[in-house]
Amino acid sequence: MAGPLVSVVIPVYNSAATVAESLRSVLEQTYPHLEILVVDDGSTDGAVAICETFEDPRLRILHQANRGLAGARNTGIRQARGAYIGFLDSDDLWLPEKVARHVAHLQARPEVGVSFSPSGFIDEHSRPLGIYQMPRLEGITPEILFCRNPIGNGSAVVIRREVFEAIRFRANLHGEPEDFYFDDTFRQSEDIECWLRIILDTPWRIEGIPEALTLYRISEGGLSANLMKQYASWERILTKTTLTHPDFIRRHGARARAYQLRYLARRATRQREGAMAVRLLHQALATYGRILIEEPRRTVITLLAAYLLRLLPPGLYRALERLMLRLTGASQERRLRRDARQTAPALKVLLVCSSGGHFKALQQLREFWQPHPHLWVSFRTPTTETALQAERVRWAYSPTNRNLPNLWRNLLLAVRVLREERPTLILTTGAGVAVPFVLLGKLFGCRTVFIESVTRIHTLSLSARLVRPFLDVLYVHWPRLQARYPRAELVQGRPAP
């Protein structure tokens, strides 16, 4: 039986050099049940004529006066018949399995409305640059979307039709009332404006799949090249959202602005605009200095790149940049391969906690961890020995407070356990013994989840504060504590990673 129809919308505007390759990447999808809507957005360079040379019954070409990328996508949505709708910009590419993977994802996850994939970067000649956009794929909240935009680009998504129906608005922008989904008044940043309305105004989840199925073309001649225009467009999103969700912007606006400025600084370094990159970074840190704490690695690397661009001779900087790109790309490819292997694995859980209340709290999550292979790391006490006599366990060294020899012993223990066990998830309730396991666990590619004590109402424990930058998920029990740490998730009943 045929699967659901997928509509693929390809806006075309003066992209004669790339559109044939983009269109061919859709026609060669392994998923056959497609309709392909090429939207001629007033193109004048022969790109549409190139599309007309393709003979395929799934292909339709629509014509309109120029409205911009958002306007062309809206025209495609209005004409689309599919249950799912994907978008491909006419200079980007899809890998052959992309549509099939997203259809499987949406069918398996009925609560997900927007499915997206990581993207690999290519140059103007379609050569892989060896680096990838590596976004967060799960647990995407409105603040994460606004600050980090894990979707990344409009060519990465496949979206349920019901999602667009949920955000549809009617307006007269071009001489007659029409239904709109993207905001036609945006000529840049139209993607994130739309994604933000979806996550703020609908119950649909946004979730990624761990395969780089989109190839995103880096071209300094495109819309994204003018950095200050892009920033002004992003500021329009903040202004617009303030009218509908003022509390959200009050809580997260400064933080989101800082992350946007840091992103633009990275773009400035790629364009060899060292002075602009430094200026944007200083503005980011002045706006929200905690980005140094929340994402120290990315922020420091961006700072170093901007200052080295200004200080080093161009040839030396280019050589250093090539080296860093090779190292980054190799690391990203390893992560992609690992994530692809772990798309649906049986979890292998490492349970790490001290004794007493921390141990009892982790025992209470038995319903989650019991079905999976697991190993305990805790302190040897009469209570833990009795409770764990039928379990696999490695005894940690205590006490840990202000005890450097035991810190060193637990660090070595963490190395041994992680090498031997290769867990996929580290689940911990603290306290000090958790620190070396979480820090080293990230190096070993583990997901890390920390469940804060229910007694912590106003501030995080010391161990939670130490490991917070290295956690995939931090659960807290009290709304006031979540308000202080917005990236934390609030326990609803029993937390499940």
Kindly give the residue spans of alpha helices, DSSP state H, lying in 245-313: 246-270, 274-287, 291-294, 296-311
Q: Which helix (H) or strand (E) holds 379?
A: strand 374-379
CA gap 15, 18 in Å, rounded: 6
Task: Note the residue count of the chain.
Answer: 497
Q: What is the pTM of this model?
A: 0.68
Q: Name, in order, each residue with C-beta under 8 angstroms of 177's C-beta and a sequence gap of 6 or more.
A: 170, 171
Question: Is 349-490 the same fold as 6-224?
Answer: no
What is the per-residue pLDDT for 497?
Answer: 37
What is the per-residue pLDDT for 220?
Answer: 56
385 residue type, one letter: E
CATH topology of domain 349-490: Rossmann fold (3.40.50)
In CATH terms, is domain 6-224 a member of 3.90.550.10?
yes
Contact 433, 378 (CB under 8 A): yes
Write the CA distances from 346 to 136, 369, 424, integer angstroms. 21, 11, 9
Q: Name, in order, each residue with C-beta under 8 angstroms of 191's C-beta and a sequence gap of 6 or more.
A: 149, 151, 153, 154
CA gap 22, 49 in Å, rounded: 14
The residue extents of the domains of the chain are: 6-224, 242-326, 349-490
Query: In tens digits, what is the pLDDT along the chain, a chain of 497 residues?
Result: 357 899 999 999 999 999 999 999 999 999 989 999 999 999 999 999 999 999 999 999 999 999 999 999 999 999 999 999 999 999 999 999 999 999 989 988 899 999 999 999 999 999 998 899 988 999 999 999 999 999 999 999 999 999 999 999 999 999 999 999 999 999 989 999 999 999 999 999 999 999 999 999 987 543 445 888 889 999 999 999 999 999 999 999 999 999 999 999 998 998 888 899 999 999 999 999 999 999 998 899 999 999 999 899 999 998 998 888 888 888 888 888 777 665 544 568 999 999 999 999 999 888 778 767 889 999 999 999 999 988 889 999 988 777 788 888 999 999 999 988 889 899 999 888 999 999 999 888 888 999 999 889 889 999 899 999 999 889 998 988 888 888 888 875 433 33
Q: Name, in order, each residue with C-beta under 8 angstroms of 59's C-beta and a sequence gap of 6 or more.
A: 23, 27, 36, 38, 51
